[in-house]
Every structure is written in structure tokens, then in C-alpha cells.
Amino acid sequence: MSERQDYVPRRLLLVAGGMTLLAACGSSGKDRTASGEPAPTGSASGSPTAKGGPGGGATPAPSLPAVQPVATAKEPEYHVHAGDMEVALTFDDGPSPTYTPQVLSVLHQYNVTATFFMIGTNVERHPDVLRQVLAAGHLVGNHTWSHPDLRTLAPAKVREEIERTSEIITRVGGGRPPILFRAPYGNFTSTAMAVSASLGMHPVDWSVDPRDWSRPGADAITQRVLTAIEPGAIVLNHDGALLDPGETEIGGAADRSETVAAVKAYLPRLIASGYRFTVPDPAR
Ligand SMILES: [Zn+2]
């Protein structure tokens, strides 16, 4: 825990000191075969409901710590660079009161640290789940407020999506601004890159995508991860979803039970193969 708590400020200092280096390794993550996430539906159901201040609440938000802007990267990070057998597990679209705790339980069983890229609307609905994730020593990243395809939005709207999410993650999480940003569908626009950097975040994509959101079966997800894994991989999983009105987390398109079962299956096998687990590291 103490190591985890030290992590963010140290990295921020390094970054603020201009020591950030663009990763020297190539971005073979571009070779990935899939867009990685459910296709944008065009539904407006997920758009922010209030044009007012962050969080949309009636009570004034407490002042938040100032963020340290970082240099705008040319492209997102597709790999981790912590060591010969290091990989990173990432979980998108939560927090979910149903599946996030199940993922946390599996990670705890194997003493693995992961990164959770959260949607602002879901943080607003389930702030306690974000706190559970942080209390367990994991990293929380920004995955926009309502999970839009950022290519379709005007710059001001892109900023609102990202800024509002950093604010709620910071507020709910006890004052630590997120330092990682992942664009929905991996669509990192130049505006999104600039905005996230201005808010102190580094863009992180993925290199292994089992398309778990499409619910191909836990065995298929497991096999896809085990087949594609390699040192430095960033693995995309989904512990949550943006729910349509009336949609349930269980039994429908938002059901993530296959993902949970797959993590239970592939994690011990990756460990047995010698893999170790880290989080995307902006300072490398
Ligand atoms: Zn997503």
C-alpha cells in the first residue's frame, strides 16, 4: 500500500520536472485487429445531464488540488516497460457495483495490481466502488464522462468530457488527480491528447484485446489473452458498461460475468508462465 501511495506524487514530480520520455519502443499496438470496445451506438443516453459545474450537483464542489500539466504525447502508450516479463491488466467502463468487486477479489487472491479506466457517470453513481479500487491499491484512470467517440465532438465538448471526469475521480478518490487517460474505443484525437496532457494525464491504449465486451464466452476470452500475451502487453478488459435507462448489469449486453470468469482462468496461468504485473508508467 505505501508503495502504491508513493507512486503518484513521485511520478508527477518526475513528469513536472520535464523528465518524461516518449517511449522508445515502437507502437506495434497499432497492429491490433479490433477496435477493442463496443461500437459507438450514437445513443444520446450517456451524454452528460447537466451543463453546470463538475458533477452536476447542487452543492459547491470543494477546491481540488492543482494538476501538473504534462507534455502532449504524439501517440498513446501501447505497452509497459517495467521489465522483461511485466504486463499490465486494465479494466474499462466501470465502476460497477456488481463486477468490479468480483475483479478486485480475484486480483487480491493473486496479489496483482491493475488499472481501472472509469467512466465519470459510473463514478457518480457508484463512488464507493471507486474508493474500494483505490483502497485495494489499484490505479484509477480517466475514461471520459459518458464514453463518446471523441472524434464526433467539438473541442469544447471533448474538454468537458475529460475535465469533468478528472474532477469527480479526484473528488471522490480523496484528492489524487488521475494520471492516466484512455479514450473510448481507443480514439485518441489530437484535442483529447492535448486536453488530457493539460490535466496532467498520459494517454494509454492497449496491445491485447480479447473483445470481452462482446461476450464470446469466458473460454474464448481466456484463450485470446493467453495467445496474444507477450512481455510489455497492456491487456484490455471490461468490468463495467455504460447502462442505457432500464438496462441491468446482469444477463444483458452489460453483463461482465464472462470477463470475471476469464480473469479467474487466465491470471493463474499467466503467473505460472512467469508474468508479473504492473501499471502503465508515465515516467518510462
Ligand atoms: Zn470503454
Does residue 129 contact residue 247 with C-beta atoms inside 8 Å? no
CA of 17 to the centre of ligand 1 (A): 31
The pLDDT value recorded for residue 208 is: 98
Q: Considering 92, 93, 209, 212, which one is annotated as catalytic?
A: 92
**At residue 51, does pLDDT exceed 80?**
no
What value does the mean pLDDT take over residues 133-138? 98
User: Given the DSSP bridges, would you call strands 234-238 and 86-94 parallel, antiparallel or unpaired?
Assistant: parallel
List Cα–Cα distances, 65 to 136, 148, 166, 175, 198, in angstroms. Answer: 23, 27, 11, 7, 14
Mean pLDDT estimate for the chain: 83
The pLDDT value recorded for residue 264 is: 98
**Cell numbers placing 271:** 503467473
CA of 250 to the centre of ligand 1 (A): 18
- Domains, the chain, with CATH or none: 2-17+68-244+251-278 (3.20.20.370)
What value does the mean pLDDT take over residues 56-79? 78
Please spell the DSSP secondary structure of 146-175, one letter per residue: S---GGGS-HHHHHHHHHHHHHHHHHHTTS
Residue 35: pLDDT band (50, 70, 90) is: low
Tell me if residue 238 is catalytic. yes
**At residue 128, does pLDDT exceed 60?**
yes
The pLDDT value recorded for residue 52 is: 36
The pLDDT value recorded for residue 252 is: 87
| Of residues 187, 168, 95, 89, the one with CA closest to residue 132 | 95
The pLDDT value recorded for residue 283 is: 63
The pLDDT value recorded for residue 65 is: 75
Q: Supply the angle between the helices 100-109 and 127-135 in degrees, to the nearest 10.
A: 10
Q: pLDDT tens digits for 222-272?
A: 999 999 999 999 999 999 999 887 888 888 889 999 999 999 999 999 999
CA of 184 to the centre of ligand 1 (A): 5
What value does the mean pLDDT take over residues 21-46? 43
| Of residues 87, 88, 142, the one with CA closest to residue 120 | 142
**At residue 182, does pLDDT exceed 50?**
yes
| Peptide linkage before 95 cis (omega within 30 of 0) | yes
**Range from 24-38, 98-112, 139-153, 235-249 carrying the lowest mean pLDDT:** 24-38
Q: Considering 79, 126, 202, 238, which one is annotated as catalytic?
A: 238
Strand partners, 116: 91, 140
Does residue 266 contact residue 226 with C-beta atoms inside 8 Å? yes
Tell me if residue 92 is catalytic. yes
CA of 43 to the centre of ligand 1 (A): 15
The pLDDT value recorded for residue 178 is: 97
Sequence-ordered alpha helix ranges (H) in the chain: 2-16, 100-109, 120-125, 127-135, 155-172, 190-198, 218-228, 257-272
**Cell numbers placing 12:** 508527477
CA of 97 to the centre of ligand 1 (A): 17
What is the SS3 assignment for 180?
Answer: strand
CA of 147 to the centre of ligand 1 (A): 6
CA of 15 to the centre of ligand 1 (A): 26
pTM of the model: 0.81
CA of 104 to the centre of ligand 1 (A): 18
